[in-house]
Amino acid sequence: MGLCVVIGQEQSYSLDELLDAGRQFIQQNLDTNIFENHPEIDEQTAQEWLRRIQSQFNSENVVDLAAFRSAAYRLVPLLESLKATRPYAFWLKSRLDYFDVAEQFRVTIPQPKPEPGRPTPPRVNPTPKQQQTVWNRQIEKKPQPAGSAATVAKLKPLFAAQKVPPQLIWLAEVESGFKPSAVSPAGAAGLFQLMPQTAAAMGLSLKPADERFDPEKSARAAAKYLKYLHDRFKDWQLTLAAYNAGEGRVSNLLKKYKAKSFNGIATHLPTETQLYVPKVEATIRKREGMSLGQLSSR
């Protein structure tokens, strides 16, 4: 299948549906007894909770994610306790520091003062510079995932073969914590969390066996997709934003705000993407000693 048919990594349900689910989750489920009231979970219940958390990833306000921090940390061990829900635990566990960083911004970004007779406006989103500073500090204290060295050494040549900087192999740490069986509630899967449409467009088979769970095949597909996105956006920050949020969303925001760089649209991207791009850069800086601007595919 040709590269021109790539749909992108957008979620499988509408933003309105996600935001509505997120609002309902905050109103109905974020109480201190949520997990005490549900000591046992099944796969369907886990998916519902995770979809509600992911809805907040798709909103635009980073600070609001802090409200989910306690729930996310409590949910991980419950997901890990059942074989059926363990793949979701890997997905959520690799994103726990999103909640930590959101909490840091909740503390440091002041709450705007409401005008008389009007509701309190939300906090402004952190700037790209603020994001990068916090993420550099956050990742600096984070150990390399156990067993990842061998995987990195094995998969780097596959990225290089696609003329993609091999240092970008560390996307696997950000996306899945180097867990090949990781699955998101939106349907992304594998080391590089490829959505079904993207995987198929990059030549992977989903049936009878889902090749996204094969580390080498997933790496080839991810590298191929990154190369396609970079050929389009000519910038690694925008490429990563498109990988996470979808190329259509990034392209539309660039047009809407007449921007040419990630910084020009960063605060208008989904919460996860605002956190994702600086996290990837901080991870590559920590693991490889390089910034995104220093990467070369040659």
* Catalytic choice (17, 43, 140, 175): 175
For residue 24, which phi and psi values (nearest 5 degrees)? -65, -40
Q: How far apart are CA 276 and CA 39, in angstroms?
A: 31
Q: How far apart are CA 295 and CA 29, in angstroms?
A: 43
At residue 121, the pLDDT reads 81
At residue 47, the pLDDT reads 73
Q: How far apart are CA 282 and CA 135, in angstroms?
A: 6
Known catalytic membership, residue 103: no
CA nearest neighbour of 222 among 190, 246, 245, 251? 190
Domains and CATH numbers, the chain: 15-109+126-140 (no CATH), 143-293 (1.10.530.10)
Q: What does each of the 298 residues of the chain score in pLDDT, given as a tens digit?
A: 333 333 345 444 343 443 344 334 334 443 334 444 555 666 777 777 788 888 999 999 999 999 999 989 989 998 998 888 899 999 999 999 999 999 999 999 998 888 887 887 888 999 999 999 999 999 999 999 999 999 999 999 999 999 999 999 999 999 999 999 999 988 999 999 999 999 999 999 999 999 999 999 999 999 999 999 999 999 999 999 999 999 999 999 999 999 999 999 999 999 999 999 999 999 999 999 999 999 975 4
Q: How far is CA 160 from CA 16, 84, 286, 295, 297, in A?
A: 39, 35, 20, 12, 7
